[in-house]
Amino acid sequence: MKEITRPEERQNNYDTLKNQSPTFDCVTCLKLTPDRKYLVGYWEKKPLELVKIWDLSGLRSIHEELLDLDDAPDLTEDPRKLMVLSSDGTMLYLRSDNRKGVKIISLQDGAQVGEIKNLHTNPILQILVTKDQKTIITCGRDKKVKAYDWINDKTIATLSSHTAVV
């Protein structure tokens, strides 16, 4: 497993790479909101990954966020599972910097409206959000599935009977 660097180190690496080249190597994932107003994209430039939010009505970038995927040989992380749009197209749910929590970002202005830290003891591998946007369901390398009510800041359920990564 590669070593997890601190967010400021990743930001410095990102700034260096961005100055070297105006584009990232590969667009791996794009998500469009139901109203077609916002586009969320995942770009890859080893060793970093970037999530970017675009306002298509004004053709402008709203927000950029580093997404640090793990390149461990035993498990490939999928950015499509780590960046989830709300059903109404107003929020982006994204794995947090420490890989064990979830950030909630407004698509309207790119502001972080919430963060749940340390939901898991190992990296989160998938994020799901209920249609009413109140419950975030995650699974991770710690062999647990968790349901979390982020509005009321409490864990609803933890399923921990798994014997392998979920």
Per-residue pLDDT at 80:
81
Q: What's the DSSP call for residue 58?
A: T
| Token digits of residue 8 | 């400021």
CB-based contact 95:124 (threshold 8 Å)? yes
What residue numbers bound the domain in which 122 lies? Answer: 7-159
| Per-residue pLDDT reduced to its tens digit, 51-80 | 899 999 888 888 888 766 665 555 567 888
Specify if 51 maps to a domain: yes
**pTM of the complete model beyond 0.85:** no
Pair type for strands 26-32 and 91-95: unpaired
Domain assignment present for residue 1? The answer is no
At 23, the pLDDT band (50, 70, 90 cuts) reads: low
Say if 15 falls within a structural domain.
yes
164: in domain:
no
Please check the confidence at residue 3 and state whether its pLDDT lies above 90. Answer: no
At 154, which CATH number? 2.130.10.10
Is 125 a member of any domain?
A: yes
How many domains is the chain partitioned into structurally? 1
